[in-house]
Structure 1
């Protein structure tokens, strides 16, 4: 049966686990700003000690019973909906035809884990090692993978189903008792069945399990779908709901943080003494007791904004806005790296194939929901499963790749770039030169229409291939544009500022067109706008962010422009930490959920004193 969507308004009414007045009158050991992936992971682990009082302030609502979140087949349906989404917008991008791009981020308890496409992956071990080599002791692939597995419970697929769909895994690479459940989706569209064989024809070999530490190749991926309940497993359902009864864990939703109030200790370190935030359209304040910690888990966009509004950042940005500089940290908001993607949708030559396009038919959708409710089978159990990570050499050929890489390396060596920028970029160059160890371009098979280049035809079914630039050289910034906390920050990713990025993406488009005519995909028809002569305009006009932005509060030595230490402590402060995706100084090849769960688990151990780094 179909869910009455008018009931969704009821879920938004649950604004706090307890009355806000009671919550604000208490004293806390940890005040966590942001109830997304990292914030709720920390809240769970820090409140394991019954003598520790933990408060989470989250701007979004509690939606634990929301079918648009919980039912896998509704993936993507809440993106762009202001009831779930912050709907940030970039400034016009000069090198992307002056287009502005929407940066969707989850504004709900659970953050973006509630609205994303549930992709579950991990980077290569050597990518985390590279982060450690920038000056972050204790940060290794082996160490962080331990924490990634701690967060996970993997449900094995039925052996016959796995064999029929080329679903393989290495059991030791997966966790068995963690809060976040993942599994292979119970429905895989016939439209994407040729994925692995077509890629093999083009030189991309299947790998057994991309989550085991090496991810170059093609695979069928699990998703954050609970293998028992067949519902989305996300930060709120995994880390908060099972422990929401804890009397020492308080979550206040609908609370949008404005700034951190601070003073200065005798040793010169800034100490957080309070939080200013808005709740029910009213200004509120909360005192932070002596010895307590404030942890920012507000994400790559909001974290630099909140730091700057609190006087932590570059004085050249803060002073003109009338913001007093408390800690001079020019690295705040700088060095962001955003992955970019585009999609080409192919019309299938068999209209009987079931894809997500089938759900545009209200009758079919109602029948699919009935099947899901009755049997937990069918299209409503779907996830995105077809993935590949390929080196540049596979896309353009070895000789062309060498020429491109050498030219970019020379530009870096002779260009007017900072030493730390060159150091970061040279890690990308090194990865590009090692095609068996580091993938560069992600390809994804999406079972449905997924492009803005045209509209789907009625009754037709599609497969979309996306090309995703996971290690761009173009680097941007996020900064406050106003001292008003309700104003969006200025988001400027500098898409395609480095010409290398658009050259590569144009070649990826050609590769995707070749893929669309290979093996079992022969006979499909792509959008004519995706022809080679239109390639760069197609990419700039019909591509966009992958929503995996990193680097706005980088974990680096302070002398290198770092904002936080390897212990997540904001430099120049005594009790302010950042734990979210903003701390990664380098991009990773994987969709970042598993990585960030691992980062948050590691942070919890550091904060509790279980480990040092």
Structure 2
């Protein structure tokens, strides 16, 4: 399905006030807000499809996964996933990982896990500390609020039973486009897990988890409609209500291939893909029907354990594709002034074999393509590391070594200790009990209640390292004592290394701060506890594989490249072992299956398990960081790309350090903040 509303013929090079590349949370926010002014004309180009209101997208229980995908599907997200994979992770087990990314009108908000939080106030104050004036918690709060339509629809009884903190109306919005509320159904294992965390010294937050001060157990709201209990995604929140505007256009199925820069020409594409390619990969991911055939129950659809016969379902395998080209050796160069290039518009096509079309933007081009596609577009257009671009035979328009670097992600490992007490209901996989599926579906649609109003993660925690381990000082010291640039990729520019060193000092200090979250614990109430690193020390890279924009990208998170990250997982899994033995967990009767007690107590076995079990939490950021130039920055505090007159970036790639949160609320907030800085025409 193509959505194209009252739009002039695209190939006529229609003059637009602004062109937005990407129709996800950030792109649709900017387009919606700018087009409130009738004098501004905006076009959004989105590569993916429009969803068809599929049940598995709309209903929270399915978490954006088709429970019975076609046999040839690469993942449960079907065509709403780019189906990318990482490079072989040499610091782990030398295998690749499936790398889910949202693709469609609404982007990742079509398939994400619903959880809604912002992180700690310090996460944003540190952005300002790194040289970005005006990007602190106090300045961001109004934009977080502007995006929300928050509804407190949880009963006093449920709030008391499940430690749902009182809502602080002073930090929430009531009239924004995105519905935020609570599910109707709660699993009774949550209070036991929270009590067990308390028993080991992790507090339960007594205040609203979105007030910027959380560092413990937190029951989070979700982006769901308070009445229908269906997903509130970016398309329905921001595009559907505005699609009738005469000055707002959206065309999907349009893959942007290049940013057009005045007086800069690039060589032709390389013939690396089939002419039918739409830019998607072929990396296999999770297929839920296969999973249900392996284990009939006690397996949820969000936190899955990568162990034994389930391992291949995660795409932890080698994938045939052309290897990335080696990074060129870097030579010292004199610091020189940046150019001031003008962006004239963008080039796009429906697939690799289609004729390229062009759109002219009268004022600005706004990249909202995400932390993977945004740096790829910059590199293809000649904005990036000059040495790398030269090695790809791309003419350098703006030499910005930070493009594609400073990549960060929350990455995680799942544990499994199934409950022996059957009196506690669990979140079972669709298909494991057809009778229950029928009853749950009927309840959801007839009264908007029941298990289908909630996904598997039901009660989470964002604990500090200090609350979980006595080794916090040792780990902080280990991180602080690392040499300049140690454990980073080879041949990085000095500015990129300098930017990381500033970040590393902040990260090391936070390891000793009881009020700063180091982990997220996701609890599915079926025995899986998933532990994610919120503030990783490792840094990865995103690069083009060839000059063909439809080729798959080089995604190298470099998981485990910094040994501090691996040791942080050791601390988490040993804490998890102690957690299962608490008095509070006894009633659930957990049985440690992964890792076992023997594995936890053996250093070598535990490290092997960690390296085999790590996978993404789907939160890439940092690849076009908002930092000063001398710290490897790509955009300034107005989110304008250095060396350009009229190119901005508004997605997660601009985040210089990753917040300790699920990122959708954070990205909406970034887009709300930048849109008030009105589009300015380029100077004559």
Q: So what's the TM-score if we normalise by structure 2?
A: 0.81
Aligned equivalents of 2:180, 2:609: Cα separation in 1:
35
1:93 corresponds to = 89
1:527 corresponds to = 593
Q: Verify: 1:236 aligned to 2:235, yes or no.
A: yes
C-alpha deviation, 1:65, in angstroms: 2.1
Question: For 2:107, which of 64, 86, 111 is the aligned residue?
Answer: 111
The more displaced of 359-368 and 576-585 is: 359-368
1:364 corresponds to = 436
C-alpha deviation, 1:413, in angstroms: 6.2
C-alpha deviation, 1:81, in angstroms: 3.1
- C-alpha distance after superposition, 1:510-554 (max 9, x if no partner): 111222232443211232444313322222222201111111000
Contact 2:25–2:668 (Cα < 8 Å) also in 1:
yes
C-alpha deviation, 1:162, in angstroms: 2.2
Aligned equivalents of 1:75, 1:414: Cα separation in 2:
39
Aligned equivalents of 2:21, 2:452: Cα separation in 1:
34
Contact 1:64–1:236 (Cα < 8 Å) also in 2:
no
Contact 1:272–1:576 (Cα < 8 Å) also in 2:
yes
Question: For 1:128, which of 103, 124, 129 is the aligned residue?
Answer: 124
Q: Verify: 1:36 aligned to 2:24, yes or no.
A: yes
Question: For 1:388, which of 461, 485, 495 is the aligned residue?
Answer: 461
C-alpha deviation, 1:107, in angstroms: 0.6
* Structure-to-structure mapping, 1:19-58, within 5 angstroms: 21=9, 26-58=14-46
Contact 2:16–2:42 (Cα < 8 Å) also in 1:
yes
Q: Which runs of 5+ in 2 are unaligned?
A: 67-74, 265-337, 489-496
Moved over 6 A (4+): none
2:140 corresponds to = 144
1:275 corresponds to = 346
C-alpha deviation, 1:268, in angstroms: 4.4
- C-alpha distance after superposition, 1:212-267 (max 9, x if no partner): 010111121111111122111111111111111112111101111111111159x9
Contact 1:358–1:364 (Cα < 8 Å) also in 2:
no
Question: For 1:570, which of 631, 635, 641 is the aligned residue?
Answer: 641
C-alpha deviation, 1:412, in angstroms: 4.4
1:458 corresponds to = none
Give the 3 Å change call, closer, same or farther, for CA 401–49 of structure 1 in structure 2: same
Aligned equivalents of 2:18, 2:638: Cα separation in 1:
16
Aligned equivalents of 2:339, 2:501: Cα separation in 1:
32
C-alpha deviation, 1:274, in angstroms: 2.9
Aligned equivalents of 2:234, 2:385: Cα separation in 1:
33
Aligned equivalents of 2:542, 2:618: Cα separation in 1:
14
Aligned equivalents of 1:404, 1:496: Cα separation in 2:
15
- C-alpha distance after superposition, 1:458-516 (max 9, x if no partner): xxxx2311111111111111111100111111111111111111111012011112222
- C-alpha distance after superposition, 1:411-469 (max 9, x if no partner): 24695973322111001112122223x1212212124xxxxxxxxxxxxxx23111111
Give the 3 Å change call, closer, same or farther, for CA 50–211 of structure 1 in structure 2: same
Aligned equivalents of 1:279, 1:220: Cα separation in 2:
42
* Structure-to-structure mapping, 1:70-219, within 5 angstroms: 70-78=58-66, 80-156=76-152, 157-168=154-165, 169-207=167-205, 208-219=207-218
1:419 corresponds to = 498
1:325 corresponds to = 396
- C-alpha distance after superposition, 1:377-435 (max 9, x if no partner): 111100433121112122221xx221221122122469597332211100111212222
1:497 corresponds to = 561
Aligned equivalents of 2:106, 2:447: Cα separation in 1:
27
- C-alpha distance after superposition, 1:48-82 (max 9, x if no partner): 00111110000111116222211111114156434
2:517 corresponds to = 439
Contact 1:223–1:385 (Cα < 8 Å) also in 2:
no
* Structure-to-structure mapping, 1:497-516, within 5 angstroms: 497-516=561-580
Aligned equivalents of 2:371, 2:640: Cα separation in 1:
16
What secondary structure, in the 3-state scheme, does the structure 2 residue paired with 1:105 have? Answer: coil
Aligned equivalents of 2:426, 2:198: Cα separation in 1:
23
Contact 1:355–1:379 (Cα < 8 Å) also in 2:
no
The more displaced of 375-384 and 344-353 is: 344-353
What secondary structure, in the 3-state scheme, does the structure 1 residue paired with 2:666 have? Answer: helix
What secondary structure, in the 3-state scheme, does the structure 2 residue paired with 1:293 have? Answer: strand
Aligned equivalents of 2:437, 2:2: Cα separation in 1:
28
- C-alpha distance after superposition, 1:169-208 (max 9, x if no partner): 3222211111111112111112333122111111111112
Give the 3 Å change call, closer, same or farther, for CA 191–139 of structure 1 in structure 2: same
Aligned equivalents of 2:380, 2:499: Cα separation in 1:
26
What secondary structure, in the 3-state scheme, does the structure 2 residue paired with 1:113 have? Answer: helix
Aligned equivalents of 2:8, 2:416: Cα separation in 1:
48
Give the 3 Å change call, closer, same or farther, for CA 319–179 of structure 1 in structure 2: same
Give the 3 Å change call, closer, same or farther, for CA 427–573 of structure 1 in structure 2: same
Aligned equivalents of 2:367, 2:610: Cα separation in 1:
34
Question: For 1:549, which of 620, 635, 639 is the aligned residue?
Answer: 620
- C-alpha distance after superposition, 1:326-348 (max 9, x if no partner): 11111100111122101112212
Q: Verify: 1:16 aligned to 2:4, yes or no.
A: yes
Contact 1:428–1:471 (Cα < 8 Å) also in 2:
yes
2:332 corresponds to = none
Aligned equivalents of 1:264, 1:215: Cα separation in 2:
50
Contact 2:412–2:532 (Cα < 8 Å) also in 1:
yes
Aligned equivalents of 1:22, 1:352: Cα separation in 2:
60
Aligned equivalents of 1:414, 1:382: Cα separation in 2:
44
Greater strand content: 1
1:455 corresponds to = none
C-alpha deviation, 1:136, in angstroms: 0.7
C-alpha deviation, 1:102, in angstroms: 1.5
Q: So what's the TM-score if we normalise by structure 1?
A: 0.90
Q: Which runs of 5+ in 1 are unaligned?
A: 1-12, 448-461
Greater helix content: 1
Aligned equivalents of 1:201, 1:113: Cα separation in 2:
36
What secondary structure, in the 3-state scheme, does the structure 2 residue paired with 1:444 have? Answer: strand
What secondary structure, in the 3-state scheme, does the structure 2 residue paired with 1:194 have? Answer: helix
2:311 corresponds to = none
